[in-house]
Structure 1
Amino acid sequence: MGTTVLVTHPGADLYGSDRVMVETVRGLLEQGARVVVTLPTPGPLTELLGELGVEVVFTPTPVLRKAYLSPTGLLRLLAATAAAVPAGMRLLRRVRPDVVYVSTITAPLWLVLARLVRADVVCHVHEAERSARPVVRRALVAPLLLAHRLVVNSQFSADVLADTFGRLERTSEVVYNGIPGPADVTPLRADVTDELRVLYVGRLSERKGVDVAVAAVGLLNQSGHRARLGIVGAVFPGYEWYEQQLGEQVARLALTDRVTFHGFSSDVWTLLAGADVLVVPSRLDEPFGNTAVEGVLAGRPVVASATSGLLEAVEGLKATRSVPPADPQALADALAELVGDWPQVLAQMPDDVAEAARRYSPRRYREHVARVVLGPVNRGGSGKPPRREQGGS
């Protein structure tokens, strides 16, 4: 029997890190590993994992959220962590994994439990909080010191880790996300001067800048450029106030007939096929830019915030535009510029699609991540630093 890998994941949605985890599981299965996945609760991800034939186990696990960053929140976190330990240990003893793959740093309990059973520990880092206060960043990153190897989704993220704890550079390896594109790319419309169809896909949160996209579309319509905005995504439980705030903003700007809330959808390709341009207006650091890459793979120009991993994800792609974060006017101006440059965009898009497909090939990702997860343990950190991913950074 091959190596047994326990994959721990903090949720059951189908956003960027969730889909990356599925590609990791595919890669491990292709290498002959036995894979067991544990999730805190059922969700859309469960069915997708079931189709791969892996065992899925539901284990309550505390997940780090901003709501815990208060004295009472920390007490709740400690209580939830203590309550989760017995179930986690029972699962580890039953599965007896050779490797525990912790798919994000938001569930650090698994790093501790895996060490207690002396399993090989690999953590996949999808987070990079360079803008956080140093003490907060060190607290978030400290559990990674327990991992034998780190898979890191961008050079930006790797640099943040190294700046936080220098020794993490020795255990980190950059592996760019593998992002499957649509089965067919729907051609762009030949003319968008009648109305620009703008799309946002992702979590509804202040840090993602959804309100910036709403404001930019409002500015476009005020300036005589007809535009509408589709918003695809949902809030984390407990953040419903932000979705309500967005609705109030839409009403205040008289955009009720110009903005559509689609809610969560697992079929982003159909929605992208009906759009002219994708916006990724994040306010804060993004460790990478899965959504931006998906937009390009769908044959859509992308306007993204000029920050962190977003710049790395779209570097060199000609039909993309980068704008300052949290600047609705800059976003509106970039969208208007795209309308004016549409013939050039039409000519550039096929090359961008081909480059993104090469750079973020799922097969390339699966082979690379499986090599890191199943590779030899570097417990002492005395070997040479792992080689970095070449190209696309």
Structure 2
Amino acid sequence: MRSKPQLYVFSHICSPAYVTGAEKLLLFMLQELKPYFACTLVVPNNGYLSERAAAAGISIFVLPVPLAVSLYLAQSHLMEELHQFRSTPEYAALVQLLAERRPDAVLVNTSVHPMPAIAAKELGIPVVWMLMETIRRTAFTAQAVGVIDQYADWIVGISESTLEPVQWACPHRKEWLLLPPSWNAQDLQPSMWQKHRERRRANLAIKPHQQLIGFIASSIYENKGYLAFMEMAVELIGRYPNAMFLLIGNPVDAPLFEAGMDLARNKGVLDRFRWIRFEEQIETVYPAFDLVVVPSLASEGFGLTALEGILFGKPVVAFAAGGLAEIMRATGNQAYAVPTGYVRGLIAKVSELLDDRKQMEAVASRNGHAAEMAYGLAAYRSRLMKLLDAMDFKVQGLPHLMKGSSPTVYLFENGQRRPFTTDTALLEAGYTFEQVKQVDDATLHALPLGEPIGPLAVEPSALLAQSAWPPSSPKQRRGARARRRGSRSSGGSRSRRLSRRTGKSQRRRQASRSRRAGSRRSRRR
């Protein structure tokens, strides 16, 4: 019986103190992939995600890898940044890890994490690239998407918004899949929601008749729409004496957070707000809300907070930013999605719900079922099977042939690169030059040098010398070039000196013979 194929999953982040939406989605996906793959999660450091994954029986490997935010932002310096990353020790360690472990496939999480995809693809390992955010539209968007297209065998987007740049820049590509996130109902403990509501509201000093309006983000910064929420809240407080507000999130932008608090402080309504820095157990906090507002200003890859609010049966009002608009439409809540950045629209929709208790209850009662129908576990697993069907590991390809900028061709075998000493050696081994794949020198030389294949035309030590690339510093590289020039120069000088000495000796011998012959003729006369 064949063992499960090995899948190495690379997370760009592993927060030590809180969990992001991307980490939540990746953890859920890992648990769903476990029946089909032997999964290893590769993280830059230990933290919440790695601890939860390890508790679920998933192997963990810690390896820092440089991130390329310039890909997500589609910036002009992207290609130069990727080129620089290839020369780092972290990239060499990444190549060596994949070469030694040789997984059947690699899954890369988010658009800011291209280096594992690049290394895997150059080593002939199939790549699944998960897009969890929408790449920005700039003059360089096509170039950014081109990197994903080049190094991904399958592109998976969590929303239509994340896939839109791919479909626009690469209309020829067919290997893409829509896989929105889902959840396990048992983890949410619906039977405990009423108890959680009573306990949480009591801890927050929220009375039963008061209406609690929530804002949730793993990190509070400008694009999460924190100031828009605060402007809306301060305006609503003057109209609705029973309205209370709960902020959940880590204020990574302290001046921004204080600016929002100042809006409430200056109006003398700070007592109407509550704040929690991080909440791990969302199933204990969402039941406490009466309404959730998601005012994201950037084009959201998905908008997990909105979906969570809906599946917990809460009315949700949101900016129609990227994937948020899709969620609101798919769950029948498009009437509560307002143009991005339009704070007056938020105020109007929240007021509409607060003014009509029956409407608010009607929206809440249908939202849980709507979320289940659009994004429930059955829908998720049906979509996941399409990806698994596409990832066929039954047929193993020929061993991987590769070459860098030099003419030497290598066989990638057992984590090493074995050089063919001649073209004939490659052909006699049963390969063709059409099977040779061009890879970057940085990837090639990160691999240990193995035994040569074919008759040795040079000493083994010369092959080993070639593998010592690149020299560790510019000074060493200059020294190496100087030694090569010196070697060539010295060799030529020795040859010329030997030639001159040989010529002089021959001329002296000829002159000596001529003098002796002349002396004998003189004596005869």
- Scaled by the length of structure 1, the TM-score of the pair is 0.84
CA separation of 1:72/1:171 partners in 2, compared to 1, >3 Å: closer, same or farther? closer
Matched with 1:159 is 164
1:267-291 residue CA offsets vs partner (Å, 9 max, x unmatched): 1221211111111101121122211
Structure 2 distance, partners of 1:193, 1:165, is 54
CA separation of 1:358/1:227 partners in 2, compared to 1, >3 Å: closer, same or farther? same
The one-letter code sitting in structure 2 at the alignment partner of 1:55 is S
1:354 shift after superposition: 1.3
- Please show how residues 146-295 of structure 1 align to structure 2 within 5 Å: 146-168=151-173, 170-181=174-185, 182-184=188-190, 186=193, 195-202=210-217, 203-235=219-251, 239-295=253-309
Aligned residues: 370
Matched with 2:483 is none
Give yes or no for the alignment of 1:17 onto 2:22. yes
1:193 shift after superposition: 10
295-304 or 149-158: bigger deviation: 149-158
Matched with 2:125 is 119
1:262 shift after superposition: 0.7
Matched with 2:366 is 351
Partners of 1:99 and 1:374 within 8 A in 2: no
Give yes or no for the alignment of 1:322 onto 2:319. no
Name stretches of at least 5 consecutive residues in structure 2 with no aligned partner: 199-206, 394-525
Matched with 1:388 is none
Structure 1 distance, partners of 2:391, 2:233, is 51
Structure 1 distance, partners of 2:309, 2:71, is 31
Q: 1:62 aligns with which of 60, 66, 86?
A: 66
Matched with 1:383 is none
1:71 shift after superposition: 9.8
1:224-261 residue CA offsets vs partner (Å, 9 max, x unmatched): 4442221112255xx44433443444434434212222
Give yes or no for the alignment of 1:34 onto 2:38. yes
The one-letter code sitting in structure 2 at the alignment partner of 1:22 is L
1:154 shift after superposition: 1.5
Matched with 1:47 is 51
The one-letter code sitting in structure 1 at the alignment partner of 2:339 is P
**Greater C-alpha Rg:** 2
Matched with 1:389 is none
1:314 shift after superposition: 1.9
Structure 1 distance, partners of 2:27, 2:280, is 14
The one-letter code sitting in structure 2 at the alignment partner of 1:54 is I
Q: 1:376 aligns with which of 365, 373, 391?
A: 391
Partners of 1:179 and 1:294 within 8 A in 2: no
Give yes or no for the alignment of 1:301 onto 2:315. yes
CA separation of 1:58/1:363 partners in 2, compared to 1, >3 Å: closer, same or farther? farther
CA separation of 1:333/1:34 partners in 2, compared to 1, >3 Å: closer, same or farther? same
Partners of 1:24 and 1:366 within 8 A in 2: no
Partners of 2:72 and 2:111 within 8 A in 1: no
Structure 1 distance, partners of 2:264, 2:65, is 36
Structure 1 distance, partners of 2:304, 2:231, is 23
Matched with 1:313 is 327
1:11 is paired with a residue whose SS is coil
- Please show how residues 360-371 of structure 1 align to structure 2 within 5 Å: 360-366=375-381, 368-369=383-384, 371=386
Structure 2 distance, partners of 1:331, 1:156, is 22
1:49-83 residue CA offsets vs partner (Å, 9 max, x unmatched): 01111111111122234799899999888766623
The one-letter code sitting in structure 1 at the alignment partner of 2:90 is A
Structure 2 distance, partners of 1:195, 1:278, is 14
Structure 2 distance, partners of 1:373, 1:62, is 29
1:350 shift after superposition: 2.8
1:152 shift after superposition: 1.0
Structure 2 distance, partners of 1:176, 1:327, is 27
2:146 is paired with a residue whose SS is helix
1:21 shift after superposition: 1.0
Structure 2 distance, partners of 1:362, 1:113, is 33
1:279-326 residue CA offsets vs partner (Å, 9 max, x unmatched): 110112112221111001111110011232111112153567112222
The one of the two structures with greater contact order (alpha-carbon pairs below 8 A, sep at least 6) is 1
Structure 1 distance, partners of 2:251, 2:78, is 20
Structure 1 distance, partners of 2:47, 2:313, is 29
- Scaled by the length of structure 2, the TM-score of the pair is 0.64
1:339-381 residue CA offsets vs partner (Å, 9 max, x unmatched): 1222123234233211212321235424533541563369xxx
Structure 1 distance, partners of 2:177, 2:80, is 34
Partners of 2:212 and 2:244 within 8 A in 1: yes
The one-letter code sitting in structure 1 at the alignment partner of 2:160 is Q
2:270 is paired with a residue whose SS is coil
Name stretches of at least 5 consecutive residues in structure 1 with no aligned partner: 379-393
Give yes or no for the alignment of 1:335 onto 2:350. yes
The one-letter code sitting in structure 1 at the alignment partner of 2:279 is S
* Regions of 4+ moved over 6 Å: 66-78
1:213 shift after superposition: 0.6
2:274 is paired with a residue whose SS is strand
